[in-house]
Amino acid sequence: MKLCVVIPSDEYVERAGARIRYKRIEDNLQKVGVYLEFAVVKEITKINHDAYLFSKCFDTTALMVAKLASESGKLVGVDIFDDYFSQKDDTRFQAVRFWLDSSMKYLDFFLCATPYMKKLLENNPYEIPVHVMNDPCEPVDFEVVSKLTRKKIVAVGRNRVLDVVWFGMGDNPHFPVGLRDLVAFSGELRKIEDNGLKVNLEILTNSRALTVATLESLAKIPVSYRISIWSEVGEKALLNRSHVAFLPVSCQNFSIAKSLNRAITAVCAANQVLSAGFPLYDRMTPFVYRNAEDLCVDFSRGEPKLNPNTISDLGTVLKNTGDLNVETESLSNFLRNLFVLKKAENKNRKNNRSPVFLVQGVKSSKVKRALLRRAAIYTVSSPVSKMSPKSDIRFTWNESGDGLRLRVSMRAAQYLNPDVSSKGKRVLRLFKPSYLIFETSDIPLLKVSGFGLRLSRSPGALLLLHACLMPAILNILEYLFPEVQCEVSEQWQFPWLSPIEGQFCKRRNL
């Protein structure tokens, strides 16, 4: 089976998400006959893999590729490992929520990293199956971990100094996480010192996170600390020499959906894990401390949770939380089962493309024309969007200002409701394609308000126009082209969606 991981850019391959979730399993998958390849979403024009897995691609092109792949009888799935979806009241994530809603009809499966995320995704109206693939950890040499653990325990016993590490992304543009959590829960580190061990905290994070405000807040940490800029090599070296990884987590949805990756990475580098805040790492309980006192007592006894005697248990815990072989096998089995079902389904499938009208928004991502043609996509422009003369369907204001005028290309006109197609007037143009034109007198639905806003490109005017015009346009298209699916292409950051989202949900009985 050829599995294509669809990614947003070339650079994405090197980021933690792709590195941990796909690159680590690449070789193992190959051993069981699943060949993994990466493809940047913008560059896809042909469908020649057996399965497509979308990773952090939430734009129109991705949606269209999903459509094309689905109609070609391929397996299509989305890997969701960050929770940008459960914050229903947060207008900042309307675009991704809407993308997910729109994409569901093309999907065969969801992949996610935690049971919590699975619970969220399982609640989908299409009953799309969800598979949890824990972040796989790199192969562990238990002998090495055991030796390193012993060395660290002896060092702590001798020096009474605990090297504690906090590592990872220090910030997030949308949520107060990372270093914010470190500061909020840093009282736990102080407790280590209260219990007789000196703490040296080393913070390894991205430079973007180190703003003036963050540095000021870090000053509140009650133990001595040092900050270094994150690098993969640096992380490995630091984890190898530190004794404890401090992993505080707040209880906001984004945080509690996170994987166990950091705890596993830390334990596999012979670190004890001190978890504060939300008990995210409960699945690794035998190797996770929930309070500093227990950690200190165990170190004083020379028997912290991770010690040479318990290393054998680590293998058992990893099997349930991120063992490379287990995760690979489980994923390949899941895909194979789906693939078998898909093949059976494909036998009865007619290999034709159903047309889609892509309604352009204020800020739409550009889709390659080759893909548009191949996926039978027809573009729709309106006063909300940039007016493109190449659009198949064009809504413009009429001169009287009482509504819209509609132009339909002859290519798109084939899908018109037969009852109304005769109402359109055909306009023939010299050396240019002809089209059908509809006025408010032909179709009363074209009577809409908003003409007075035509000259304004202010966010306020666009926002209102969007809220009122887009649902109206979708209604008109539904009436004129009852057999054609509509999609909205909108990347605008402003909170434009809820009216359309509501309408879409209603239409799809969601």
Using CB under 8 A as the criterion, which residues of the chain lie in contact with another protein when the complex forms?
A: 89-92, 116, 157, 160, 176, 180-181, 184-188, 190, 193-194, 196, 198, 213-214, 216-217, 219-222, 248, 250-253, 255-256, 277-279, 297, 300-302, 401-402, 449-453, 455-461, 463-464, 467-468, 493-496, 498-499, 502
Helix (H) / strand (E) element for 38: namely strand 35-40
Closest CA to 104 of 82, 86, 129, 74: 129
Least separation in angstroms between residue 276's CB and another protein is: 9
Q: Which is nearer to another protein, 337 or 400 (CB)?
A: 400
HEC-encoded secondary structure of 104-146 = HHHCCEEEECCHHHHHHHHCCCCCCCEEECCCCCCCCCHHHHH
Least separation in angstroms between residue 96's CB and another protein is: 14
Q: Rounded to an integer, what is the distance from CA 197 to the centroid of its chain?
A: 41
Contact 214, 227 (CB under 8 A): no
Least separation in angstroms between residue 221's CB and another protein is: 6
The region, left, alpha or beta by phi > 0 then psi within -120 to 50, assigned to residue 248 is beta
Q: Which is nearer to another protein, 31 or 301 (CB)?
A: 301
Least separation in angstroms between residue 75's CB and another protein is: 31
Measure Cα distances from 181 to 164, 215, 218 in Å.
Answer: 15, 13, 10
**DSSP codes of every residue in 305-363:** SSSTTTHHHHHHHHHHHT-HHHHHHHHHHHHHHHHHHHHHHHHT----PPPEEEEE-SS
Q: Which is nearer to another protein, 252 or 491 (CB)?
A: 252
Closest CA to 82 of 11, 42, 124, 135: 135
Contact 207, 229 (CB under 8 A): yes
Which residue(s) pair with 36 in the sheet? 3
Least separation in angstroms between residue 420's CB and another protein is: 24
Q: Which is nearer to another protein, 142 or 278 (CB)?
A: 278
Q: Which is nearer to another protein, 274 or 484 (CB)?
A: 274
Q: Which is nearer to another protein, 256 or 477 (CB)?
A: 256
**Helices and strands per DSSP (H, E), number in the chain:** 20, 19
Cα-flanking dihedrals φ and ψ of residue 261, to 5°? -50, -45
Least separation in angstroms between residue 209's CB and another protein is: 12
Q: Which is nearer to another protein, 145 or 296 (CB)?
A: 296
Q: At what angle do helices 311-321 and 142-159 cross, to 10 degrees?
A: 120
| Overall residue count recorded for the chain in this entry | 510
Least separation in angstroms between residue 125's CB and another protein is: 19
Q: Which is nearer to another protein, 51 or 453 (CB)?
A: 453
Least separation in angstroms between residue 99's CB and another protein is: 17
Q: Which is nearer to another protein, 173 or 418 (CB)?
A: 173
Least separation in angstroms between residue 181's CB and another protein is: 6
Closest CA to 40 of 18, 20, 16: 18
